Amino acid sequence: MPLTLYGLKNCDTCKKALKALGDQDVHFVDIRAEADLEEKVPAWLKAAGAESLVNKRSTTWRQLSDAEKAAGESGDAADLLIAHPTLIKRPVIEADKAVHVGWTPAISKALLGE
């Protein structure tokens, strides 16, 4: 099955996921330069939720105002994530109609069948 991995080229977690998925059909999309976030972010939020998609451990998150953080913690995080793509927890992997956020043992098992 073809996979689309959205991330950053210098992200260690994205590199780890790409390496693990190595012999599969994976298309990498840089979330800052190539992704159509206006289309993707609402769909990802619907599939995964703001709690999964917003990276609250990032430097960008710590630099936000309290009002922006409140928006990021609510179901209204789309505008914030589109404005600040580095707030998106990485990688976001689309496989068929499923959306996986992050690279955990459970996601690895689901995608690699291990």
- For the chain, list the domains and their CATH numbers: 3-103 (3.40.30.10)
Spell out a b/e string for 61-85, using b for 16 or more CB atoms within 10 Å of the CB, else e. beebeeebeebbeeeebbebbbebb
- The pLDDT, as a whole number, for residue 82 is 94
- Walk along the chain (114 residues) and give the pLDDT tens digit of each residue: 689 999 999 999 999 999 999 878 899 999 999 999 999 999 999 999 988 999 999 999 999 999 888 887 776 789 999 999 999 999 999 998 899 999 999 999 999 886
| 11 is an active site residue | yes
What pLDDT shows up at residue 41?
96
Q: What is the pLDDT of residue 114?
A: 65
Annotated active-site residue in 2, 4, 11, 46: 11
pLDDT value of residue 101: 97
pTM (two decimals): 0.91
- Distance, CA of 23 to chain centre: 21
β-pair type (3-7, 26-30): parallel
| Residue-level pLDDT at 98 | 93
Instruction: Give the three-state DSSP class for 42.
Output: helix
